[in-house]
């Protein structure tokens, strides 16, 4: 505290108290941030950066961006991700890798986001879903690539 005179101290004290009172009075009239959860589950929107569960976005043609490189699997500290891939030969005789099955265990995921950061193609992302409770933990193991989906061709 810097040295203040008796009267100066009172004046500055009253000024700062008035600032506090003004702030709380403004807060009194602002819309409240409380979400009443079970009632508003139809309309409740989680914020954009919320990490609900891992997903692999697919486009309308049922194509995803995953090339099956397995970097996410290596980046995952908990071993929640299992990428199965196979080698195949294209029409012009080149050997290429493609994704067969992308398994993700929500039950052991700690939402650190290292997998999405490791992905070179932005193939996986966290969504905003949060009602993830199930009765059987086997249900938490999800296959992220859809049936019959294939990797999107580079343009």
Partner 1 sequence: MFNFTTITNWLHSFLTTTCGFAEWGAILTESVLVALVIITLYAVFAIALIYMERKVCAFFQCRLGPMRVGKWGLLQVFSDVFKMLTKEIISMRQTDQFLHNLAPFLVVMASMITFACLPWNQGAHIIDFNVGVFFFLAISSIGVVGILLAGWSSNNKFSLIGAMRSGAQIISYELSIGLTMLAMICLTGTMSFSEICNDQYVNGWNIVRGHVPAVIAFIIYLVAGNAECNRGPFDLPECESELTAGYHTEYSGMHFGYYYLAEYLNLFICAGMASTIFLGGWAPLQIAGLDGFNAVMAFIPGAVWFVGKAFFVVFLLMWLRWTFPRLRIDQILSLEWKYLIPFTMVNLVLMALCVAMGWTF
- Within positions 117 to 146, which residues make up the interface with partner 1, using CB under 8 A? none
* 20 lines the binding site for partner 1 (CB under 8 A): yes
Q: Is the dihedral of CA 107, 108, 113, 116 positive or negative?
A: negative
Q: How many residues bind partner 1 (CB under 8 A)?
A: 14
**x-or-dash string of contact with partner 1, 26-65, rule CB under 8 A:** -xx-x-xxx-x-----------------------------
Cα 100 from Cα 149, distance rounded (Å): 9
The residues facing 86 across adjacent strands are 98
Q: Could you give the C-alpha distances from 50 to 68, 86, 122, 128, in angstroms and in order?
A: 26, 33, 17, 6
- Give min distance, CB of 129 to partner 1, in A: 25
Distance CA 57, CA 104 (A): 14
Position 21 contacts partner 1 (CB under 8 A): yes
Among 1, 3, 24, 60, binds partner 1 (CB under 8 A): 24
28 or 135: CB nearest partner 1: 28
SS3 132: coil
Taking CB under 8 A as the binding criterion, the range among 17-25, 48-56, 74-82, 86-94 that sits at the site for partner 1 is: 17-25
CA distance 2 to 136: 63
Report the nearest approach of partner 1 to the CB of residue 128 (Å).
Answer: 23
């Amino acid at each position: 505290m810097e040295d203040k005179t008796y009267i100066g101290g009172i004046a500055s004290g009253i000024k700062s108290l008035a600032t506090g009172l003004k702030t709380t009075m403004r807060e009194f009239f602002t819309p409240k941030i409380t979400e009443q959860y079970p009632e508003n589950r139809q309309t409740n929107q989680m914020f954009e950066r919320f990490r609900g569960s891992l997903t692999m976005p697919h486009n309308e043609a049922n194509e995803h961006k995953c090339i099956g490189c397995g970097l996410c699997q290596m980046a995952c500290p908990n071993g929640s991700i299992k990428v199965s891939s196979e080698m195949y030969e294209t029409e012009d005789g080149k050997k290429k890798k493609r994704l067969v099955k992308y398994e993700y265990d929500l039950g052991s995921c700690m939402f650190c986001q290292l997998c999405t950061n490791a992905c070179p193609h932005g193939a996986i992302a966290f969504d905003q879903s949060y009602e993830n409770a199930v009765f059987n933990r086997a249900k938490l193991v999800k296959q992220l690539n859809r049936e019959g989906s294939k990797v999107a061709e580079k343009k």
